[in-house]
Amino acid sequence: MTAAVVTGAGHALPATYEQGQVWDGFFAAQYAGVRAAERVFRAAGAQRRHAVVNPVDEDVSRWGTGARMERFIVEALPLGKQAVAGALDTARLAPGDVGLFAVASCTGYATPGLDIRLASDLGMPLGLQRLLIGHMGCYAALPGIAAVSDFVTARSRPAVLLCLELTSLHVQPAVADLEQVVTHALFSDAAAAVVLEPGAGRGRRVAGMVARTDHSTADHMTWDVTDLGFRMGLSPRVPDVLGRHVGGVVQELLDEAGLRSEDVAGWAVHPGGPRILDVVRDTLGLTEEQMGASRRVLTEHGNCSSATVLLVLEELGDVDGPVVAMAFGPGLTLYATLLLPA
């Protein structure tokens, strides 16, 4: 059976701001009565983040959901186009070569969607197949890769996956809640895309996928559609739940391929926050050097939801050997993907 191989990657980022700047210029006033808010905000792990809406300049916290969705399309189109074009360029493919275009997002919706609008703008074929992956959250890139790789294998056609998240559109009216402080301190905007081709002799081959959902902890991470945008619920118990499952998930992934942890050359761990990275490191017995790509992405970009693990894979560059990618999100759900040199 022809393997699906990741041959190209690209990303696009809106304007960058410093973590201290957005605290001093906006959130300090929002959370003036919340004890420990500044300490929690500054300890979120991000030093810089990206936003199509910087709250220092534009407060959308009282905007209705309809207005936020209208803004999503305006801001998302140029970012998505840049990310996909960059991925196609690195894969040395033209838009007309694409057989399937998949788009994952949990931060904005419209019909016609980004998949249709971007396919038209980029000049993808009229017979293009499309897939929209909605509201899965931070782990969506990995089931997205699974679905796209199945198409590539079955149809012997190239495919593109775009993950595009604009979390800055969902700033909420302030409440005296440290969970909300963490959310506003951590999340960021980004678009990231990958190209997969059948049987390519370069790149990373999709070699395995394992998923695990702990239904008993479904209330630990939520993403609710409200009249004032999308509101996140994020329990401090999330890292502990991940710690119970991540070892078994990774072991199953490696056992299926006949590999050991020592064989893995690169670890792309979704940086959901510093505690999550600490728990994964300690549970799997990894070194800080092995966590380096994930730490750097968290520091420089924050948590960009579904786009983040693709940014970490880019950060790993052309590391020689097996790569394990992991992402976590609502459910609570864990996904792990094995990528091998083509």
Which active-site residues does the annotation give?
Answer: 138
Q: How many angstroms separate the CA atoms of 193 and 88, rounded?
A: 9
Peptide bond into 341 cis (omega under 30): no
* 3-class DSSP string for the chain: CCCEEEEEEEEECCCEEEHHHHHHHHHHHHCCCCCCHHHHHHCCCCCEEECCCCCCCCCCCCCCHHHHHHHHHHHHHHHHHHHHHHHHHHHCCCHHHCCEEEEEECCCCCCCCHHHHHHHHHCCCCCCEEEEEECCCCCCHHHHHHHHHHHHHHHCCCEEEEEEEEHHHHCCCCCCCHHHHHHHHHECEEEEEEEEEECCCCCEEEEEEEEEECHHHHHHEEEEEECCEEEEEECCCHHHHHHHHHHHHHHHHHHHHCCCHHHCCEEEECCCCHHHHHHHHHHHCCCCCCCHHHHHHHHHHCECHHHHHHHHHHHHCCCCCCEEEEEEECCCEEEEEEEEEC
Provide the residue count of the chain: 342
Residue 315: alpha-carbon gap to chain centroid = 14
**Tell me, what amino acid is at 34?**
V
Cβ pair 79, 168 in contact under 8 A = no
Nearest to 308 by CA among 78, 130, 104: 104
Give the side-chain half-sphere CA count within 13 A for 52.
27
